[in-house]
Amino acid sequence: MSQIKRKWSVLPKEKQKILIEKTITFFANERDQEIGIISAEEILDFFTEHLYTEIYNTAIDDSKKLLRKRLEDLEFDLDLLINK
């Protein structure tokens, strides 16, 4: 049986498996509820679908800020070379 690949399914299989186990454990420990693998997969899928765009965009913004900072540092270093 092949699984449907959704655009927000960006996690590796092993990471998905770990998060599913953690979801099951969370519900057992914090909510005193037993949920199965299918329910845990649906919960993970729900949150991944609804959060992935925001998380992706935040990562892009963070990368842009880092790149700007590094370019500013490079420009400063180059200016020091010119002024010698």
Q: What does R_g of the chain's alpha carbons equal in angstroms?
A: 21
Residue range 32-49, pLDDT digits in tens: 999 999 999 999 999 998
Residue 5: is its pLDDT beyond 70? no
What mean pLDDT is predicted for residues 7-36? 92
Question: What is the mean predicted confidence (pLDDT) over 14-25?
Answer: 95
CA–CA distance, 13 with 62 (Å, rounded to integer)? 26
Q: What is the pLDDT of residue 10?
A: 77
Note the pTM of the prediction, 2 decimals: 0.66
Q: What is the largest CA-CA distance in the chain?
A: 70
- Of 38, 44, 9, 2, which is closest to residue 23 (Cα–Cα)? 44
* pLDDT value at residue 6: 67
Distance CA(84)–CA(63), nearest Å, equals 32
CB 8 within 8 A of CB 46: no
